[in-house]
Amino acid sequence: MSEQADNRGMPQPGFIIEHQNSDHKWKVLRNIYSGPFSDVYVVSDMNTDEHYAMKCERQIGNSRPVLKLDVMVLMATKGIRGFPQFQAAGRTEIYRYCIMQLVGPDLGRLRRTRPDRRFSIATSLQILEQTLKRLEDLHDAGWLCRDVKAPNFAIGVGINEGTVYMLDFGFARKFKDKEGKIIPPRPAAALMGTFQYCAVSAHSHKDQCTRDDLESWFYMAIEMLKGPLPWAHIDGHKNHKLIGEQKMEMRKEPEKTKFFEGVPKQFREIFDIIEATDFFDRPKYSRLRELLIEAAKEHDISMIEPMDWMSNKRMKLKANFVGELGESHQASAKLDADKTQDNEAMDIEFENADEIHPDYVGVSAKGSSKRPRKESTKSKESSELSPEPSSTAKPSAPPSAPSSNLPPIYS
């Protein structure tokens, strides 16, 4: 057993993680991301030699732990196509960790490898059909994403490279009660999401609903088809309200006509359907899917043809060298509204973990780790502004209310 750890107490290649009361072991192969409060690794199942992703989040000095949200959502969606399959989770003195299915580069990086920063229309429509299904499944599981954007979707590896996976649930919120009823909106809420893609209701500090996830999905769609959004040049950290105002102006003529230039005509109806969805409504996923297929037929596109990265293998290689989003205003952020209710205290009321998914497997890492040094204020700020790699999941949200009945990773 290796006891290698870096000077922050995080594991390094060669570190061994073992299940409690089991001979199951995982070996850390390499680090693929390292930030002030979290790291992402490729690990190997020592029984099968299969590779997985392991996301670690520091327990000490981290004011915004979110790994528990990733675990909760992955358990709730276990077995559903297009969600990384949960393997195990646990904690040491220094960090919590989650082991999950390994996926490939995220759609944001892949899009930015293209000369015009957009996918072909054939690939875009296929991506949108798959990501719409991911949102439908997530909503049916009782969760909102609240941070829908291309970097939070990734392609599979090997034979699964045509499958788009949804990940990174640091801003997720459970929006149904134990009886399956939608929880009424609060009087006010903090702005949760990414400035470029969040819904207008988020800019207005209103509680989000399934409609708002779809509005963010719609902005992602336009970006895939046309390239950068009209408000992409605005620094949301300095003026997020201006972005919200531009989104409102986009709904009026003549800006609306200009906004829809260069995209299939069906996207006007897609937008209108999303806009007409009430807070308590179930979105018309089937009709939205029909419109995507209709657009494909009008452009003589098959929804099963190879996607851009499948016909151009260099895209995946280039994606590994594409930086993060590159501009801090595109990073996920939480802004507290005046007189809003505290999301950190109210965001989620956790149920017994067994009610969410019965076969949680607790694990622990063997080996001692050094206690990490205290991070500077500058490091803390950069961790909140810089997104993590989308080959797994990234912590980017406030913690949820704890429960004494949660698995060990949450205690």
| Residues 266-300 pLDDT 10s | 999 999 999 999 999 999 999 999 999 999 999 99
| Burial of residue 235, with CB atoms counted within 10 A of its CB: 0-12 exposed, 13-18 middle, 19 or more buried | middle
Residues 90 and 122 in one domain: no
Residue 213 scores a pLDDT above 60: yes
Q: What are phi and psi of 311, to 5 degrees?
A: -95, -15
Residue 118 scores a pLDDT above 50: yes
Domain boundary among 290, 312, 328: 328
Which residues, listed in sequence order, are joined to residue 126 by a DSSP beta bridge? Answer: none
The DSSP bridge pattern shows strands 164-166 and 153-155 to be antiparallel
* pLDDT recorded at residue 100: 96
In a domain, 348, yes or no: no
In a domain, 346, yes or no: no
Number of domains in the chain: 2
Query: Cα 317–218–277 angle (5° rounding)?
Result: 150
pLDDT digits (tens, 9 = 90+) for 9-51: 789 899 998 866 567 799 999 998 877 667 899 999 999 999 9
Buried b (16+ CB within 10 A) or exposed e, 29-55: bebbbebbbbbbbbbebeeeeeebbbb
List the one residue out of 134, 170, 174 whose CA is nearest residue 154: 134
Residues 293 and 396 in one domain: no
Q: Please check whether residue 406 is in contact with residue 68, taking contact to mean a CB–CB distance below 8 angstroms.
A: yes
Give residue 318's identity as a one-letter amino acid code: K
In a domain, 333, yes or no: no
Instruction: Report the percent of the chain where pLDDT is more than 90.
Output: 63
Q: Which of 25-39, 130-144, 243-257, 380-394 has the lowest mean pLDDT?
A: 380-394
How many residues in the chain? 411
| Lookup: tokens for 82 | 């297009």
Confidence of residue 83 (pLDDT cuts 50, 70, 90): very high
Q: Please check whether residue 354 is in contact with residue 360, taking contact to mean a CB–CB distance below 8 angstroms.
A: yes
Confidence of residue 7 (pLDDT cuts 50, 70, 90): low
In a domain, 339, yes or no: no
Query: Cα 210–99–1 angle (5° rounding)?
Result: 165
Tell me what the pLDDT averaged over the chain comes to. 80
Residues 120 and 246 in one domain: yes
Confidence of residue 66 (pLDDT cuts 50, 70, 90): confident
* pLDDT recorded at residue 60: 74
Among residues 70, 106, 137, 147, which one is catalytic?
A: 147
Residue 94 scores a pLDDT above 50: yes
Residues 66 and 32 in one domain: yes
Residues 126 and 190 in one domain: yes
Q: Please check whether residue 125 is in contact with residue 270, taking contact to mean a CB–CB distance below 8 angstroms.
A: no
d(CA 220, CA 148): 8
Reply yes or no: is the peptide bond before residue 187 cis, omega within 30 of 0.
no
Residues 302 and 202 in one domain: yes
Residues 224 and 287 in one domain: yes
Residues 130 and 256 in one domain: yes
In a domain, 345, yes or no: no
Buried b (16+ CB within 10 A) or exposed e, 195-208: bbbbbbbbbebbbb
Residue 158 scores a pLDDT above 90: yes
List the one residue out of 215, 180, 106, 98 whose CA is nearest residue 150: 106
Confidence of residue 173 (pLDDT cuts 50, 70, 90): very high
d(CA 399, CA 68): 8
d(CA 138, CA 80): 9
In a domain, 2, yes or no: no
d(CA 18, CA 26): 6
In a domain, 273, yes or no: yes
pTM of the model: 0.80
308 is known as an active-site residue: no
Residues 132 and 279 in one domain: yes
Q: What are phi and psi of 41, to 5 degrees?
A: -130, 160
Q: Which residue has the higher pLDDT, 78 or 355?
A: 78
| Burial of residue 375, with CB atoms counted within 10 A of its CB: 0-12 exposed, 13-18 middle, 19 or more buried | middle
In a domain, 6, yes or no: no
Residue 251 scores a pLDDT above 70: yes
Q: Which CATH number covers residue 399?
A: 3.30.200.20
- Rounded to an integer, the average pLDDT of 389-406 is 34
- Rounded to an integer, the average pLDDT of 370-387 is 33
Long-range contacts of 323-327 (CB under 8 A, 24+ apart): 324/386, 324/387, 324/389, 325/108, 325/151, 325/387, 327/235
* pLDDT recorded at residue 242: 96
Instruction: Report the percent of the chain where pLDDT is more than 70.
Output: 74
Residues 189 and 288 in one domain: yes
List the one residue out of 27, 36, 121 whose CA is nearest residue 381: 36
Confidence of residue 1 (pLDDT cuts 50, 70, 90): very low
Residue 177 scores a pLDDT above 80: yes
Residues 257 and 128 in one domain: yes
| Lookup: tokens for 67 | 């790994």
d(CA 140, CA 142): 5
d(CA 33, CA 362): 24
Q: Which CATH number covers residue 289?
A: 1.10.510.10
pLDDT digits (tens, 9 = 90+) for 315-348: 999 998 876 653 323 334 444 444 444 333 333 3
* pLDDT recorded at residue 56: 93
Structural domain range at position 251: 107-328
Residues 206 and 316 in one domain: yes
Q: Please check whether residue 381 is in contact with residue 36, taking contact to mean a CB–CB distance below 8 angstroms.
A: no
